[in-house]
Structure 1
Amino acid sequence: MSENVIEMKNIVKSFYIGTPNELNILKNIDITVKKGEFVSIVGTSGSGKSTLMNIIGALDRPTSGTYILGGTDVNEQTDNGLSEVRNKKIGFVFQTYNLIPRSSALKNVELPMLYYGMNRHERKERAEQLLELVGMKDRMKHQPNELSGGQKQRVAIARALANDPSIILADEPTGALDSVTGRLVMDLFHKVHEVEGKTIVLITHNYELAEETERIITLKDGKIVAEEYNDKYIRRFPNGEKICL
């Protein structure tokens, strides 16, 4: 039986906008993600997917409900505990890359490992291996302003893998890219999923991207309105083939 890496039960997120008013963003969300799955959460603007992403990523806490992330009860963690959970269990990939501007690609990938306490030699060696994995080893000394959008996103994916997290959480990872570059980035996610065996949760408004994942969860007005296994899903690297980036 597959191990669950995400277990959310009756998750509610509310914001108080002045007594007695309360704005309910998420309404009784139940989600389970198994180790090694590629799952998408799809919804239009205002559906609550950004709020849900923040909770999945331990960037915010639910108002009520239970969230077990890789065996850890998120609600019971202190702020420092949440920071440690994020660093060890989740690799983030954002639409805007979130790279440190004046640091090289290599240093950007090393950063999570520095917080993890890995020594300098091990950090550098692993960062080089990850940049090679995503096809960016020849750009490892370049700063973000010397890279294209697709190159920045590949560096961001390498950084997300740095501490061998349980989950890669990708928030609109192709949203700032043209269609050709976006295709390369999605191929890289498939490679990370199929060849490296990573669990990936993709947050997107683009249903075409969602259809590339194994399971599609549709969010509307803060509720899950559909959840289905994707019978159109195909493995792009069934024999572990490497891709040319």
Structure 2
Amino acid sequence: MQGIVKRYYEGEPNELEILHGIDLKVFQGEFVSIVGESGSGKSTLMNMIGALDRPTEGQYFLGGRDISKLQDEELSDIRNQEIGFVFQNFCLIPRMSAVRNVEIPLMYANMPPKQRRERAMELLALVGMEERADHKPNELSGGQNQRVAIARAMANDPHILLADEPTGALDSKTGHLVMDIFHRLHEEQDKTIVLITHSQELAHETERMITISDGRIIADKELGGEME
């Protein structure tokens, strides 16, 4: 990212600038946390990284392509194929079983039904949820739902996992189990992981902590990685 600025209500009396020229490099295979208090701009930055929103100014290159110049359809393809999203509130479809939830991105990718089911079950096994494949979200605990959400995020083997407060709705013990899955994906599958959080404790489990305040990066620190 180079000189990323984000303004809302541009040209109007209530114009509001949230990001004030963000420069950020994340390399393939890194496990990075972006830390900031509520209102710091970290959620807006997450939306930029995830191609969920466009910057007002600046350039964002993902895998050599300038994402800031792509059309909506191309951005949609990137969100489906190249970025896996994990949110605090899981964002699972209530009426669908765990395995059907994991299949959704594969369906959009036009994978045949048999392969789709096999891939979804393989991913549920990866997060220890294969025995709960037929359970719906209301039949699962928060930690189990988040594991299903991680399996879904991995469906199309994305380059980046973007996790927004992934343990925010969980107790600390369950949160550590979820973080263990991220560590495993990072170490065993060399996934690039960007973790958005307000928690210094969680951030210190990553390799590198980027601190954002008032729409600016104020610190970028190398860390040791996973803590006991």
TM-score (norm 2): 0.97
SS in 1 for 2:212: strand
- Which whole-Å CA distance do the structure 1 matches of 2:28 and 2:124 have between them? 24
Structure 1: runs of 5 or more not aligned: 1-7, 237-245
> Which AA in structure 1 matches 2:56?
T
> Which AA in structure 2 matches 1:192?
L
Q: CA deviation at 1:70?
A: 2.2
- Which whole-Å CA distance do the structure 2 matches of 1:71 and 1:64 have between them? 18
User: CA contact under 8 A between 2:204 and 2:227: conserved in structure 1?
Assistant: no
Aligned equivalent of 2:22:
29
Structure 2: runs of 5 or more not aligned: none
User: CA contact under 8 A between 1:105 and 1:155: conserved in structure 2?
Assistant: yes
Q: Indicate the RMSD between aligned Cα atoms, in angstroms.
A: 1.3
> Which AA in structure 1 matches 2:214?
D
Aligned equivalent of 2:140:
147
Aligned equivalent of 1:233:
225
1:130 aligns with 2:98: no
Aligned equivalent of 2:75:
82
- Which whole-Å CA distance do the structure 2 matches of 1:227 and 1:166 have between them? 22
1:119 aligns with 2:135: no
> Which AA in structure 1 matches 2:36?
G
Q: Deviations over 1:20-73 (max 9, x none)?
A: 442110011011111111000000001000000011100000000000112222
1:221 aligns with 2:221: no
Q: Could you tell me the percent identity over the aligned residues? A: 64
The range that moved more, 11-20 or 54-63, is: 11-20
State which of 91, 95, 98 in structure 2 corresponds to 1:98: 91
User: CA contact under 8 A between 1:106 and 1:124: conserved in structure 2?
Assistant: yes
State which of 196, 206, 218 in structure 2 corresponds to 1:203: 196
Q: CA deviation at 1:76?
A: 1.7
> Which AA in structure 2 matches 1:15?
Y
SS in 2 for 1:153: helix
State which of 175, 192, 215 in structure 2 corresponds to 1:182: 175
- Which whole-Å CA distance do the structure 1 matches of 2:227 and 2:143 have between them? 22
> Which AA in structure 1 matches 2:131?
D
How many residues were matched structurally?
228
TM-score (norm 1): 0.90
User: CA contact under 8 A between 2:92 and 2:101: conserved in structure 1?
Assistant: yes
- Which whole-Å CA distance do the structure 1 matches of 2:34 and 2:24 have between them? 10
- Which whole-Å CA distance do the structure 2 matches of 1:220 and 1:51 have between them? 12
> Which AA in structure 2 matches 1:114?
M
User: CA contact under 8 A between 2:123 and 2:154: conserved in structure 1?
Assistant: yes
Q: CA deviation at 1:164?
A: 0.4
- Which whole-Å CA distance do the structure 1 matches of 2:70 and 2:199 have between them? 33
> Which AA in structure 2 matches 1:68?
F
- Which whole-Å CA distance do the structure 2 matches of 1:204 and 1:111 have between them? 26
1:58 aligns with 2:51: yes
SS in 2 for 1:195: helix
- Which whole-Å CA distance do the structure 2 matches of 1:32 and 1:116 have between them? 29
User: CA contact under 8 A between 2:7 and 2:16: conserved in structure 1?
Assistant: yes
